[in-house]
Amino acid sequence: MAANTDAGMDNLFRSLGALVVAAGQIELRVPLLAGALLGLDQQRVGIYLFGRQNTSRGLDVISDALKVTAECEAKERAASWAGRVRAAYRERSAVIHGTFGRDANGGLARATVARLLTGPAVETTSVDISDIDEVTRSLVALSSEFDGQLCSLLIHDLPSSRAMLGHPPM
C-alpha cells in the first residue's frame, strides 16, 4: 500500500510540475499580447512595464486595450484567447494554491478549510490527476495558439503590434 501511495504522490508532483511549466509559458505570453495591442516595443518599455505585473493584471490590460483596438479578426481572436487564458489560469490557481495530502483510505485528496463554524474543520475531496493534466494541456494548447495563429493575425491585422512581437515595421 505504501509504495502505491508514494507512486500516487510522485504522479501528483509530476503533474503539478508540468502545470507550473505550462502556466509559466502563459505568463510570458500575456505581457507580449498586452504590449502588442498597445503598440509598444520590447526594447524600450514593453517588457519592463508588464514584466512585474501578475497574469491577472496583464489580462485586465489586454481587456482594456481591446476596447480601443480597431475591429479585425486579430481583435476577436485575442479577446477569445484572453478569456480562455483567464478561465484556465483560474483553474491553475485553484490547483497550485491548493493543499494536497492523503484521505483516510490513503488516496490522494485535496483539503479545504470549512467555511462554517460547525462540522469538520477540514474537508477533503478526492484528487483525480487527470483533471490537473487537463488544465496543463489547456495551457499548452493556448501557448501554441498564441505562437502560431494569434501572432500571425496580430502581425497582419495590427501593424503596430509588429515591434512587440519581434518583427520589423512595415
Torsional class of 106: left (φ above 0), alpha (ψ -120 to 50), beta (otherwise): left
Burial (CB < 10 A; 0-12, 13-18, 19+), residue 6, is exposed
Q: How far is residue 94's CA from residue 82's CA, in Å, rounded to a whole number?
A: 18
Beta bridge partners of 111: 99, 124
Q: What share of the chain has pLDDT > 90, as a percent?
A: 46
**Residues whose CB falls within 8 Å of the CB of residue 161, separated by 6 or more in sequence, listed in order:** 36, 37, 39, 74, 154, 155
Q: What is the pLDDT of residues 125-165, one digit of tens each?
A: 777 889 999 999 999 999 999 999 999 999 999 988 888 88
User: Long-range CB contacts (< 8 A, 24+ apart) of 63-68?
Assistant: 65/34, 65/37, 65/38, 66/37
Domain assignments of the chain as residue spans, ordered by start: 18-98+129-161
pLDDT of residue 1: 42
Amino acid at 168: P
Q: What is the pLDDT of residues 58-97, one digit of tens each?
A: 999 999 999 999 899 999 999 999 999 999 999 999 888 8
Q: How far is residue 73's CA from residue 157's CA, in Å, rounded to a whole number?
A: 7
- Which residue did the predictor score with more confidence, 2 or 170? 170
DSSP 52: T
H helices of 39-128, in order, are: 47-51, 55-67, 73-96
Beta bridge partners of 101: 109
Task: Please report which confidence band the pLDDT of residue 103 belongs to, taking 50, 70 and 90 as the band edges.
Answer: confident
pTM of the model: 0.83
Q: How far is residue 110's CA from residue 63's CA, in Å, rounded to a whole number?
A: 33
